[in-house]
Structure 1
Amino acid sequence: MKVWTVANQKGGVGKTTTTVSLGGLLAEQGKRVLLIDTDPHASLTYYFGIDSEAIEVSAYDVFTRGKNMASEEILQSLCPSGVENIDILPATMAIATLDRSMGNKNGMGLILKKVLAKISEHYDYAILDCPPVLGVLMVNALAASERVLIPVQTEFLALKGLDRMMRTMELMQQSAQTYSYQYTVVATMYDKRTNASLDAYKKLRATYHDSVWPGVIPIDTKFRDASLAQQVPSKHCAKARGVQAYRALLDYLQNKQVDA
């Protein structure tokens, strides 16, 4: 099972849209996909019409009881997305308490990695949607992944958020534990009509070079329409320019896998 984490320490940059879009395109290829919501705001969960406060088992239970859960129990805690080949591990507000209750315990950064190992034969891909805050949830998501996707809105303040994210990953990779992920920066919400987007993209390329995907995800209102319809964008508006951009991103990432 390939594990990708979508993360940035700034909100509103397109993390959930990236998670859902790539998940939908992978499912379209016939891949078995698990989408994991590790954000207390539960945007990914609500995207698919799942009421996070009405479910009996969620990501909170996986974090607190995961090491003692058998694979079948973990699988039973997942929710259908309504899209063929996609399941969801939903989030609830309760996971916001994990930093306080678990953050200082040894080994807490590897819980998710161990849980995913128990169900790895059931999925081809797992994509993790992260909160924009450094804590036990983001650390777990980074530790579990082999590739980190960092959506960055093409505007000045978002570049500052990327700087913080890069420092976080450097600190983790310098820690006593081994983190073997690679990362790809993805320029999002690109508006070719504005100098701000163009300048931000040029700065991204100049600063992070080949770590930046050479394409861009444009501003596209079809993403909002797909969200309102609770459908993955590739199903709701397959020909939209944003969907085509994510299709190009997925091709790029899958080619990177082959090269690796």
Structure 2
Amino acid sequence: MKVWAVANQKGGVGKTTSSIALAGLLADAGKRVLIVDLDPHGSMTSYFGHDPDTLEHSVFDLFLHQGNVPEGLPESLLLPTSHEHIRLLPSSTALATLERQSPGQNGLGLVIAKSLAQLWNEFDYAIIDSPPLLGVLMVNAMAASQHLVIPVQTEFLALKGLERMVNTLKMVNRSRKQALPFTIVPTLFDRRTQASLGTLRVLRDTYPDTLWQAFIPVDTKLRDASRLGMVPSRNDSNSRGVIAYRALLKHLLAHVPASQVA
């Protein structure tokens, strides 16, 4: 199984859309895909028609065992989605309380990694949607993943958030045996605005080695897919957004080393 995390410490940059679009394209190709919603807002969970406010069981259950994960628990939490090849490990609003509960508890940073280990042979890919906050949940996403995708909105305020995210990654890498490789993905690009054009130039100048050189455009078809609870490629496979995500997936598959597969 390949494990990718999608993260940024700034909200509203397209993390959930990117996670679902990539998962959908992989699933369209027949891959078995697990999506993991670690955001207490539960946008990914809501996307597929599950209510994070009322779910009786969720990913939160994994954190209730002092850093251990009981055998069979992750599989028991999986929910269906509108795509037959995608299963969801759902979020709940209870995750918002985790930061207050976690001080003093050892081993909580590896809960998701331990959970995915139990599901390793059941899926070809796992994509983790992270919260826009540095804390135990984002640490879990990074600890479990083999490659990090960092969506960044092409507007100048997003550049500071990206800088914080890259600094966080450097800090996390100091505690890892191997540095976590990452790809920066420009999102919500609107070529009609100077803000988008200028931000893209800055990104290309500042992060030449880790930036995906293309971009995800603003596309109302992505919003339509969300409203329908469908992966974008099933809603309109030839929309501008889906074409861009298809190119991004091709880039990731070409540049993520095969050695990352355990």
**1:27-53: CA deviations, max 9, x gaps?**
001000000000010000000011123
SS at 2:131's partner residue? Answer: coil
TM-fit CA distance, 1:193:
1.1
Partner of 1:253: 252
Give the alignment of 1:229-240 within 5 angstroms: 229-240=228-239
Higher helix share: 1
Once residues 98 and 181 of structure 1 are traced to their aligned partners in structure 2, the CA distance between those partners, rounded to angstroms, is: 24
Unaligned runs of 5+ in 2: none
Given that residues 146 and 180 in structure 1 are in contact (C-alpha distance below 8 angstroms), is that contact kept between their aligned partners in structure 2? no
Given that residues 40 and 95 in structure 1 are in contact (C-alpha distance below 8 angstroms), is that contact kept between their aligned partners in structure 2? yes
Is 1:59 the equivalent of 2:77?
no
Once residues 258 and 40 of structure 2 are traced to their aligned partners in structure 1, the CA distance between those partners, rounded to angstroms, is: 36
Given that residues 154 and 189 in structure 2 are in contact (C-alpha distance below 8 angstroms), is that contact kept between their aligned partners in structure 1? yes
SS at 2:229's partner residue? Answer: coil
Given that residues 103 and 136 in structure 1 are in contact (C-alpha distance below 8 angstroms), is that contact kept between their aligned partners in structure 2? no
- The one-letter code matched in structure 1 to 2:52 is S
Partner of 1:91: 91
Calculate the aligned-residue CA RMSD, in Å: 1.4
Once residues 55 and 10 of structure 1 are traced to their aligned partners in structure 2, the CA distance between those partners, rounded to angstroms, is: 26
Is 1:69 the equivalent of 2:89?
no
Given that residues 172 and 179 in structure 1 are in contact (C-alpha distance below 8 angstroms), is that contact kept between their aligned partners in structure 2? no
Q: Bigger CA drift: 177-186 or 187-196?
A: 177-186
TM-score of the superposition, structure 1-length normalised?
A: 0.96
**1:170-189: CA deviations, max 9, x gaps?**
111123x4354210000000
TM-fit CA distance, 1:164:
0.5
Given that residues 221 and 232 in structure 2 are in contact (C-alpha distance below 8 angstroms), is that contact kept between their aligned partners in structure 1? yes
Give the alignment of 1:1-260 within 5 angstroms: 1-65=1-65, 67-70=68-71, 72-175=72-175, 177-178=176-177, 180-257=179-256
- The one-letter code matched in structure 1 to 2:137 is L
Q: Percent identity?
A: 51
Once residues 241 and 14 of structure 1 are traced to their aligned partners in structure 2, the CA distance between those partners, rounded to angstroms, is: 15
Unaligned runs of 5+ in 1: none
- The one-letter code matched in structure 2 to 1:183 is F
TM-fit CA distance, 1:115:
1.1
- The one-letter code matched in structure 2 to 1:238 is S
TM-score of the superposition, structure 2-length normalised?
A: 0.95
Once residues 68 and 140 of structure 1 are traced to their aligned partners in structure 2, the CA distance between those partners, rounded to angstroms, is: 13
SS at 1:158's partner residue? Answer: helix
Given that residues 103 and 135 in structure 1 are in contact (C-alpha distance below 8 angstroms), is that contact kept between their aligned partners in structure 2? no
SS at 1:122's partner residue? Answer: coil
Once residues 169 and 179 of structure 1 are traced to their aligned partners in structure 2, the CA distance between those partners, rounded to angstroms, is: 12
- The one-letter code matched in structure 2 to 1:144 is A
TM-fit CA distance, 1:106:
2.4
SS at 1:214's partner residue? Answer: coil
Once residues 130 and 115 of structure 1 are traced to their aligned partners in structure 2, the CA distance between those partners, rounded to angstroms, is: 16
After superposition, the Cα gap between the structure-2 partners of 1:89 and 1:149, relative to the gap in structure 1 and judged at 3 Å, is same
Given that residues 15 and 129 in structure 1 are in contact (C-alpha distance below 8 angstroms), is that contact kept between their aligned partners in structure 2? yes
TM-fit CA distance, 1:136:
0.2
Q: Bigger CA drift: 50-59 or 11-20?
A: 50-59
SS at 2:49's partner residue? Answer: coil
